[in-house]
Structure formats: structure tokens, C-alpha cells
Amino acid sequence: MRFDPPGTRILPAARGAAFRLPAGGRVRIVNPHGTQAVDLWAFAMADPDEFLSMDHLRSVNSVVAVDRGTRLVSNRRRPMLSIVEDTSAGRHDTLLCPCNASLYEELGCVGYHRSCADNLHEGLAAIGIEVPFTPASLNLFMSVRVEPDGTITRLLPSSRPGSHVLLRAEMDLVLALSSCPQDVTTINGPDRTPRDCAVEIVEVAPAGEPA
């Protein structure tokens, strides 16, 4: 599946994809049902050791959740992405780790279960990129609440059907997305059903830029 030309594609339930997004390129992530969490990662196209960092964006912005206006920075504190539009409930989570095989084992799943971590690495591999670590993800459409005693509460999804987030690349990026396969907890809604999302590449860099 190619994601880099402009146009809209389905990000199937429980699946992921990675694609190159040159500086100035914009991508709209649409949540048709309003319930689906979408894990997002970004890497500098020139050097994947520079990546969108939840630790650093919390430090730079003094926030634990992402809204319009939050500076989405790398581990080198450089702007990587901007939120141009957000019609969702906002307060996108930065605290919870992307799901991985160990989590599903802990939840009692037997045999292979798809995960956001595997979706990230499969998506990167499909475009010839290997990253030997899994950064913390920006969890779009997922919200948690930090309680006064320091614990966190996982909230049910509360975005309206058809909500979207429009992002603009502030540097040449590799963007990776995972439609979270979580079907044991209610993070993707009370019926525990992962669903498709849509990804629209709105704009890419002028001809001559790497695609």
C-alpha cells in the first residue's frame, strides 16, 4: 500500500502504515466512528534517531495532553509537526505506551495478537526503514485523566463520528500510524472493536523533493 501520493486511503482496523511526508506536507487523519485510537510516530527523514518525543513535548509545552497549539517536537526539541485543525474532543494522550505483544500476553491473549508496536515496525519495513526501538506514541483520539493522587484514568473515546486532525510537517518526515488493535480493554470504545480510519494526504512538497 502506497501512502505518499496525495489522496485518501483507508487505514484498516488494527493495521498500520508508514509514509514519507516532506516539510509542508499535510495529512488529515479521520475517525469515521469517533471511537478509534490512532497511535502516531514521526521520524526525521534524514535521521530516524530524531523522532517525535512525548517526553520532550511534555517538557517544552508543560502539558500531558496534546491540543491545537501544542508544539510537537523531537527529542532534539525541534518542531516536527503542527496541528492545523482538530475537530475531535482533543486532549490527545501522550502518557500511555503503544500496545505491544507483552501487553496482550499480560491481558491473557493466547497466540499472536496484532499491536501498535508491530504495526509501526511493519509499516516502516514496507518503505525500507528499520528503527531498532519503539518510541512512545502520540495517541490521537485517546484521552486519559490524571487524578489528584497521581493515578491516571483511561476515559472512553468521546470524539464525534467523522472527527479529524489535520497535521502539517515542519520538517521532512517519515510518519507512521497505527489503528490500535486493542480489543480487550475499552480504549477503542465500550464494544471493544477496532475500526477503520481514513488518512488523507492533502498536500505534498513540490516536484523535486524526495517522495
Q: Which residues bind Zn ion (CB under 5 A)?
A: 99, 116, 180, 182
Of residues 116 and 199, the one with the C-beta less far from Zn ion: 116
Of residues 170 and 183, the one with the C-beta less far from Zn ion: 183
CA–CA dist 170, 174 (Å, integer): 12
What is the nearest approach in angstroms of Zn ion to the Cβ of residue 181?
A: 6
What is the nearest approach in angstroms of Zn ion to the Cβ of residue 107?
A: 12
Of residues 116 and 167, the one with the C-beta less far from Zn ion: 116
CA–CA dist 143, 140 (Å, integer): 8
Of residues 99 and 176, the one with the C-beta less far from Zn ion: 99
CA–CA dist 139, 65 (Å, integer): 9
What is the nearest approach in angstroms of Zn ion to the Cβ of residue 134?
A: 11
> At which residue does the C-alpha cell 524526495 appear?
210
Q: Residue 74 in 3-state DSSP? A: strand
Of residues 99 and 201, the one with the C-beta less far from Zn ion: 99
What is the nearest approach in angstroms of Zn ion to the Cβ of residue 139?
A: 8
What is the nearest approach in angstroms of Zn ion to the Cβ of residue 116?
A: 3
Q: Residue 104 in 3-state DSSP? A: helix
CA angle, 55 as apex, 12 and 150 as ends, to 5°? 95
**8 A C-beta contact, residue 38 and residue 159:** no
As given in the structure block, the three cell numbers for residue 167 are 497535521
**8 A C-beta contact, residue 188 and residue 154:** no
